[in-house]
Structure 1
Amino acid sequence: MEQVLEQFRERVVAATMNKTPLRIRGGGSKDWYGQALQGEILDTREYSGILAYEPTELVIVARSGTPLAEIEAALDARNQMLAFEPPHFGPQSTIGGVVAAGLSGPRRQAVGAVRDFVLGVTLMDGKGDVLRFGGQVMKNVAGYDVSRLLAGSLGVLGLMVDVSLKVLPKPFYETTLRFELSQKEAIERLNTWGGQPLPLSASAWHGGVLIVRLSGAEAAVKAAVQKMGGEEETQAGVFWEGLRNHSNEFFAATSGPTSLWRLSVPSVTPPLDLEGEQLVEWGGAQRWLRSGADAATIRAVTEKAGGHATLFRGGDKSVGVFHPLAPAIAAIHRNLKSTFDPSGIFNRGRMYNDF
């Protein structure tokens, strides 16, 4: 594997000298995410394999090109999991892509996002230097902020070489409940439950139906069921898998508006007055919107609610996939980019057109 790493370094150094953009790519399962793709592909899949897995320490370390399915299989054998439930979006998904995209699944509302599970990262910068941040144990916090910074960076700061992640045991017991509620009622109910000691691990509302998952000790889950009411969802596994990987009816719809927006707002925000169809996740904090409305309208409504809007799939990317940054924040982003990648070769324009 050292030979592969040296080949990566040679390509990075040559690209920096020639100011030739490189497109860091694993399995390509998220090529559609972000702005238009630029540069020659630097495929990470040759640099693959689990470097260390300590079930008792709840830590796994893997090279960036390691398939997500391989990591999940290793964890499953020890009854553990990546608790943030990263979406696959295809069998070729890699762990480097998981961290770079920074996307989390339904359980994020209970356990945290990708960045909350990143313990350490090894990064190759624009000079070809290998930099190590963080550690490989949960108690090691040295350089932790830099490691977390790479989660969701879409590879614009450098080539992720390997990553150390915290893992968690699978829940002892789970059940899923179903409620017939309007969107307004569902949001109110979710926020009421969120303030109570209930083992909520996921939620989703769409089309007049609220689905919630309860996870934990069997006695705690059954007590919560008695308190909350509702009906048992008999297709729970299929439902949560479809939500996680966007293969359910809402995300897979081919008719109607083709623009899919991800809106992040305070969980208590009432239903947003926007054209189109909505799905509510994460206790009300994440709203998915299929709409033909223009970007300015969607972002204005979301901003007024105290949130931001991302053009997730489809639509006109010239409006900017990610919510425009405030000038001070944009300056920080540009400074970080110039520090790690002074020649601007890595995933150029993938997040914002100007860096």
Structure 2
Amino acid sequence: MHSEHDIDDSGILLEQVNLALQTATPLRVQGSNSKAFLGRIVAGETLDTRSHRGIVSYDPTELVITARCGTPLAELAEVLDEAQQMLPCEPPSFGGDATVGGMIASGLSGPRRPWSGSVRDFVLGTRIITGHGKHLRFGGEVMKNVAGYDMSRLMAGSYGTLGVITEVSLKVLPKPRQCLSISLEMDSDRALLCLAEWGQQPLPISGACHDGQRLHLRLEGGESSVAAAHDRLGGELLDSSYWSHLNEHRLSFFDEGQPIWRLSLPQNTPNIHLPGEQLIDWGGAQRWLKSYGEPSFIREVAYELGGHVTCYSHGLIDNPFQPLPDALMRYHRNLKQQLDPQGIFNPGRLYAEL
């Protein structure tokens, strides 16, 4: 499957990496830069992956698609849509120009994440340009092709610090036959109790978000199971575009100028009291916080609950990602040293020490 946009520019990217290695030039690896607000600022020469694009292969019967890193996510979604299939983890685009490579590098997933899995869970194989100037293939196009160290999944959430992803094979799934969204009036304490209870039952929930006044639910699956769940739960019908607005941060909650924090917490964490406004997502496992609160206090609260925090407001603090314990940082540094010995890929994007 090829289009007029289908371009293999891997040779040019490899040349640019090798030149950077020879001249010890740091590289700022990016696609459309739609996630520029996440992480620390990188000083380096831009390596733009968008010219290396196109669907390499897609067999709907095998539920696997392989695409180059510069392929727009929108193009991938369109191709899958024609076959009534989807990438279940719902990666956000933040503006519409996001690329497949950026999706893997950031590892961000949408509202369906707790029920379907994360971006990492759908990565079967990758091609990567390493810090040794080699273009290598890892993994394959089948789920069982995972032996030893899983390099491909390691790239998910690495923010371009370990190598340049040039190609990725992804597991996809059929779209649900029926999708219905409902809204129920209840406070956040009640919503969290209900979600904990419903989580033990075979309800076809694939999205759960509480905005302070109402609990919004998405039901997906077979027609009869969705209808039965709707009969049981009741509620008002909700426009299904709510979920994409939530995923792309287009809800009014994200509008104002206050700093935005993402708290990732264990399932069934009760209500947490922090200064500012909260949006409860992922059935409670993800909380969006709009707050001028002290960063160290917000982090401490999340850490004590067994979670971690990311600052989504660029430039607010020097380390937007949760600081790592010493032992874990040592692992990260060793890994960076193995894969990028000269430290040319997105230096400092995740942490100053990397």
Length-normalised TM-score, structure 2: 0.95
2:23 to 14, 18, 21: 18
Segments of structure 1 that go 5 or more residues without pairing to the other structure are none
Amino acid at match of 2:242: F
Q: Secondary structure at the match of 2:166?
A: strand
Following superposition, the deviation at residue 317 of structure 1 comes to: 2.4
Following superposition, the deviation at residue 176 of structure 1 comes to: 1.0
Partner of 2:222: 217
1:206 to 195, 208, 211: 211
Q: Distance in 2 between matches of 1:218 and 1:337?
A: 48
Amino acid at match of 2:330: A
Q: Is the 8 A contact 1:127 1:341 kept in 2?
A: yes
Q: Is the 8 A contact 2:7 2:52 kept in 1?
A: no
Correspondence list, 1:51-90, <5 A: 51-90=56-95
Counterparts in 2 of 1:347 and 1:213: CA distance versus 1, 3 Å: same
Q: Distance in 2 between matches of 1:312 and 1:216?
A: 33
Q: Secondary structure at the match of 2:75?
A: helix
Correspondence list, 1:49-198, <5 A: 49-142=54-147, 145-198=150-203
Q: Is the 8 A contact 1:260 1:314 kept in 2?
A: no
Length-normalised TM-score, structure 1: 0.95
The worse-fitting range, judged by mean Cα deviation, of 123-132 and 51-60 is 123-132
Counterparts in 2 of 1:3 and 1:209: CA distance versus 1, 3 Å: closer
Segments of structure 2 that go 5 or more residues without pairing to the other structure are 1-5
Can you list the C-alpha shifts for 1:273-294, whole angstroms capped at 9, x where unaligned? 1000000111110000010011
Following superposition, the deviation at residue 267 of structure 1 comes to: 2.2
Amino acid at match of 2:311: L
Q: Distance in 1 between matches of 2:323 and 2:200?
A: 32
Q: Is the 8 A contact 2:38 2:314 kept in 1?
A: no
Q: Determine what percentage of the aligned residue pairs are the same residue.
A: 49
Q: Distance in 2 between matches of 1:92 and 1:294?
A: 33
Amino acid at match of 2:247: R
Q: Secondary structure at the match of 1:313?
A: coil
Following superposition, the deviation at residue 144 of structure 1 comes to: 6.8
The worse-fitting range, judged by mean Cα deviation, of 304-313 and 281-290 is 304-313
In the comparison of the two structures, how many residue pairs are matched? 349
Can you list the C-alpha shifts for 1:182-234, whole angstroms capped at 9, x where unaligned? 1111111111111111111011001211000010001111111122222222x
Q: Distance in 2 between matches of 1:64 and 1:272?
A: 39
Q: Is the 8 A contact 2:70 2:100 kept in 1?
A: yes
Q: Is the 8 A contact 2:39 2:314 kept in 1?
A: no
Q: Distance in 1 between matches of 2:145 and 2:13?
A: 28
Partner of 2:328: 329
Following superposition, the deviation at residue 315 of structure 1 comes to: 5.5
Q: Distance in 2 between matches of 1:175 and 1:6?
A: 46
Q: Distance in 2 between matches of 1:175 and 1:185?
A: 22
Q: Is the 8 A contact 1:12 1:127 kept in 2?
A: no
The worse-fitting range, judged by mean Cα deviation, of 123-132 and 341-350 is 123-132
